[in-house]
Amino acid sequence: MKSKVTLKEVVGTKIIYAVLLVCYYWMWARRDWQAYYETVQNTVFIFTIVFFAMQAGRIYKYSKEEEDELAIQNLRRTDAIGLKIMTAAAVVIAFACAVKAIDGTAAGYALVGVILALAVIRFIIFSVMDSKGV
């Protein structure tokens, strides 16, 4: 890949990080065992290594390029919105645990699910703000 690395690409790859987090949490928190789980685990592990190696080169290349100030400002606005969403979600999950509506495992799944949803929402909001030049 010899194309220029954009901030949109960097933000979009955070979705893959969130998917990997969900996969690893599933591997840690499950209580049963099926024969195909080992194949899934090995596939996720190999994908993680390859993805991190590819991303290291892209992020290094991005750090050497000229910064887009408007995109950085849009990302900061997007992150502020994401912080508010995450705070509200964490309060709801904590309250649900406090009143015994969900147990610890379900709370963990809820948290990683919120992180995944937040990564997708962050990318969408950033893409819309960046395309409109807000």
Under the banding of pLDDT at 50, 70 and 90, the label for residue 1 is very low
Ordered by start, the domain boundaries in the chain are 7-132
Q: Please give the model's pTM, rounded to 2 decimal places.
A: 0.83
CA distances in angstroms from 115 to 14, 71, 94, 121, listed in the order given: 10, 22, 15, 10
The pLDDT of residue 70: 85
The pLDDT of residue 134: 67
Distance CA 4, CA 74 (A): 19
CA distances in angstroms from 125 to 11, 117, 129, listed in the order given: 11, 12, 6
DSSP three-state, residue 90: helix
Q: What is the mean pLDDT of residues 104-108?
A: 89
- What's the count of helices (H) and strands (E) in the chain, helices before strands? 4, 0
Q: What is the mean pLDDT of residues 17-34?
A: 90
